């Protein structure tokens, strides 16, 4: 009987393993089609059948990386290594996750492991060198930084004496102010892929920084039952998609408010056009046009995903530094009618977080490795709304 029982158990395990492999292959198919949500679904089902397979965790980690769910990607890569400490792809996935989360020292350690085992892997070596450069740069910045010596880019600007050349025929601020006419002209100018004059761009940035710096980390608004607000997720430099939103839903106005929930830049080729348009409407309708910070309004992401390079190519490194300062003043969350909470990164992994905790966040910084600022920005990229209370 014991032999029969053992045979039956082994047969069941083999059948389960086959089922898990079929689910993995199905997930791989969705992954190749870039349907990452379904890929994650079937990798998860495969893990439910066979929870001790490092490859399944590693594959799901990569799918999470593609959807920018870096916290989940990190957890899966770590689990893969717990199952098999020699699984080199696990180190690569974990390094990539930590890199995206700004945990550069942890990432560097894993990249070192990958390079040591695979010395001829050009991609791994490139990632290692990039990460090593960032670690050294951060160490240098910490060594020379102090609150007393840190100055804003604004202090070094002389906007009033910037000259707008005679041959520039594009939109200009009216007496230094953003108007609806200016916004319409600027959107058409951008639509034709023309560059705004640097003086106008600097004027918008300096003014919006002043507006954002006066806002709380948690913005709270009240809407009447007859009022509506349009909430938009990641625009990611897709300027023509932004124009289409306004075409379908109407331009922002006092009676047509909007909330854009982070990730305005990176990936797309027109991040500057998107963010300057959004900032312009924030200046035009400060109480009816709302912006929240996403994980792509951070230096690490802008360096890796293109916005820094775009600003430097179209304008200057100095302007990117000013964008970095402005991004740090973007609010982190918004609460509507004390019932609906909106933030870019999703809800916290720790219990007991209250609205008052969000109000107290000192947000004028790059996101740390942990804490509310990191959690609200980096764990996910989905637009999230949830009913809330003060408790």
Residues annotated as part of the active site? 296
Cα–Cα distance, 153 to 132 (Å, whole number): 27
Q: How many Cα neighbours within 13 Å face the side chain of 90?
A: 18
Cα–Cα distance measured from residue 112 to residue 296, given in angstroms and rounded to the nearest whole number: 26
Residues 6+ away with beta carbon under 8 Å from 387: 339, 340, 341
CA–CA separation, 308 and 320 (whole Å): 6
d(C-alpha 86, C-alpha 58), whole Å: 13
Residue among 10, 125, 99 nearest 369 (CA): 99
Whether 344 and 293 have beta carbons less than 8 Å apart is answered as: yes
Contact yes or no for 97/73 (Cβ under 8 A) = yes
DSSP assignment of 91-154: HHHHHHHHHHTT-HHHHHHHHHHHHHH-TT-HHHHHHHHHHHHHHHHHHHHHHH--TTT---GG
Sign of CA dihedral 272, 274, 278, 283: positive
- Chain CA centroid to CA 60, Å: 20
d(Cα 301, Cα 94) in Å, to the nearest integer? 17
CA–CA distances in Å: residue 204 to residues 182, 265, 323, 330, 331: 12, 17, 11, 15, 18
Q: Are strands 340-343 and 333-336 parallel, antiparallel or unpaired?
A: antiparallel
Report the alpha-carbon distance of residue 46 to residue 56 in Å, rounded: 7
SS3 content of the chain, % helix, strand, coil (to 5): 55, 10, 35
Other Cβ atoms less than 10 A from the Cβ of 314: the count is 15
Provide the terminal-to-terminal Cα distance of the chain, rounded to the nearest Å. Answer: 59
């Amino acid at each position: 009987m014991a032999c029969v029982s053992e045979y039956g158990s082994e047969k069941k395990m083999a059948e389960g393993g086959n089922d898990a492999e079929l689910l993995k292959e199905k997930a791989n198919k969705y992954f190749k089609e870039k349907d990452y949500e379904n890929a994650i679904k079937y990798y998860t089902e495969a893990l439910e059948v066979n929870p001790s397979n490092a490859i399944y965790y590693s594959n799901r980690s990569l799918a999470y990386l593609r959807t920018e769910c870096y916290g989940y990607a990190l957890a899966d890569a770590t689990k893969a290594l717990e199952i098999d400490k020699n699984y080199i792809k696990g180190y690569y996935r974990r390094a990539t996750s930590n890199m995206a989360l700004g945990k550069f020292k942890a990432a560097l350690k894993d990249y070192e492991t990958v390079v040591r085992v695979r010395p001829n892997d050009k991609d791994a070596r490139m990632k290692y060198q990039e990460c090593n450069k960032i670690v050294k740069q951060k160490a240098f910045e910490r060594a020379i930084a102090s609150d007393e010596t840190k100055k804003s880019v604004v202090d070094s600007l002389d906007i009033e004496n910037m000259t707008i050349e005679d041959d520039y025929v594009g939109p200009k601020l009216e007496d230094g102010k953003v108007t609806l006419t200016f916004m319409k002209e600027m959107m058409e100018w951008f639509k034709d892929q023309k560059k705004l004059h640097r003086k106008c761009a600097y004027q918008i940035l300096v003014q919006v920084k002043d507006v954002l710096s006066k806002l709380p980390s948690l913005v709270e608004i009240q809407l009447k039952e007859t009022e509506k607000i349009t909430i938009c997720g990641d625009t990611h430099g897709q300027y023509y998609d932004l124009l289409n939103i306004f075409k379908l839903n109407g331009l922002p106005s006092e009676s047509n408010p909007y909330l854009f929930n982070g990730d305005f830049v990176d990936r797309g080729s027109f991040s500057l056009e998107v963010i300057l348009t959004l900032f312009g409407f924030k200046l035009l309708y400060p109480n009816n046009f709302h912006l929240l910070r996403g994980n792509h309004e951070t230096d690490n992401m802008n360096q890796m995903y293109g916005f820094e390079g775009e600003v430097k190519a179209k304008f200057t490194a100095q302007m990117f530094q000013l964008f970095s300062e402005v991004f740090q003043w973007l609010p982190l969350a918004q609460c509507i009618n004390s019932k609906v909470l909106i933030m870019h990164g999703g809800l916290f992994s720790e219990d007991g977080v209250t609205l008052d905790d969000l109000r107290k966040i000192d947000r004028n910084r790059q996101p740390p490795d942990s804490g509310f600022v990191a959690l609200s920005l980096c764990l996910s990229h989905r637009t999230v709304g949830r009913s809330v209370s003060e408790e």
